[in-house]
Amino acid sequence: MTLTKSSSEPAVQSPSGYAPGFRGIAIGFALVLAGCDVPNSYQAPPPPEVTVSHPRQGLVTRHIEFTGNTQALYTVQLRARVEGFLEKVLFKEGDIVQEGQVLFVIQQNTYQAKLKEAEAKLLAAKARLLHSETEFKRFTGLLQQDAAAQTDVDRWHYERDANQADVMSAEAQVELAKLNLGYTTVRAPFQGRISRRYKDPGNVVGAGEETVLADINKVDPIYVYFTINEQDLLRIRKENPDITAKTSRPNLPVDVGFSNENGFPHRARLDYADIQVDTNSGTLQLRATLANPDYRVLPGLFARIRGERSQPQESLFLPEEAIGYDQGGPYALVVDDQFIVSRRGVTLGPQVNREYAIDAGLSGGDNVIVNGQMRAIPGHKVRVIWAGSGAP
């Protein structure tokens, strides 16, 4: 018979009165409580790293910008100055035509006949003059021989003078007939671009009015008109005493750009300033002349104009990424001798490439953060790395 242990028999206990597994848990818990008595030591993170540099010194030219429009150097409406049928149109619409080129021909036979008529009247007047001169000389000789009366001499003297007047009148009629015949041929007054024709061949033109046949523009060179307000005008005159009101043709360089262009790629010359300021707008009209050999610039285009406000001057420059903006305006972050960051408000001058001229707010010895501005907080320390080869 096999003997088995009764389930009611008590389990074996450790000398301490606890079961072996529970004893291990108690020991681990005691060790944890002992560790809580060790104090923590906080180590602050190192200061953020930034790149600093002194502002660059260089020359800057102050500019002033305007807006304006282009306008043709000459604009002419070609008109029919005589009446007749339009016989020929001798150009392609939109073409560049040369000075003196025949563009339209109006019916000429009528005016050719009128010229012949005027020339015939001139010949008749000259014949009468010759006859009266001959008779005047003859009767003057007879009067000296007591073979003619004084009244006959006076009459032929009158006839001679009247016929001289008739000859002059006939000569004038010939000149007018030649002019009218010349008006039947409409020529280009200068080299330029011509518009579409406004009348087709076969129409009667010049009937009681000077019919417009086409427009022609001279656009090489082309004008750029713009205005300057009174305050800018007075400031420029103060900064440039050489420019006086006696300068009728300023002849100053300006740069021009159009709406599809970056910057001001075209060079023009300021050649005219109006003689008075417009009292309604407080502006003075200016004009520049721009070369346009390829005829790409059309009259009526919007234009941006930039002119030099003064001679080049010394200035400080910062790269554009070193400039920040907030509600207070543009600013730069500066590091002092204790490596503490501070905000410095600046006044920006003109932009040259990727740099801004600094008109106020910085000195040449300031340490300006040029990289890492997002990690720099005003009033906190930073670790400085000098741009380029190292600290100056």
Reply yes or no on domain 109-183 having CATH 1.10.287.
Answer: yes
Class of domain 214-308: mainly beta
Residue 217 exposure: Cα atoms within 13 Å on the Cβ side:
20
pLDDT tens, 117-148? 999 999 999 999 999 999 989 988 888 888 88
With contact defined as beta carbons under 8 Å apart, do 153 and 133 qualify?
Answer: no
- Cα four-point dihedral sign 211, 214, 215, 220: negative
Domains 51-60+314-386 and 109-183 share a fold: no
- Distances in Å between the Cα of 200 and the Cα atoms of 86, 90, 212, 213, 217 are 7, 11, 12, 9, 21
| Domain-wise residue ranges, the chain | 51-60+314-386, 109-183, 214-308
Q: Tell me how far apart the alpha carbons of residues 166 and 187 are, in angstroms, rounded to a whole number.
A: 33
pTM (predicted TM-score): 0.67
Question: For the domain bounded by 51-60+314-386, which CATH number is listed?
Answer: 2.40.420.20
pLDDT tens, 36-88? 555 667 677 888 899 999 999 988 877 888 999 999 999 999 999 999 999 99
Q: Tell me how far apart the alpha carbons of residues 13 and 34 are, in angstroms, rounded to a whole number.
A: 28
Q: Does position 389 have pLDDT exceeding 70, yes or no?
A: no
Beta bridge partners of 303: 68, 258
Specify the higher pLDDT residue, 245 or 103: 103
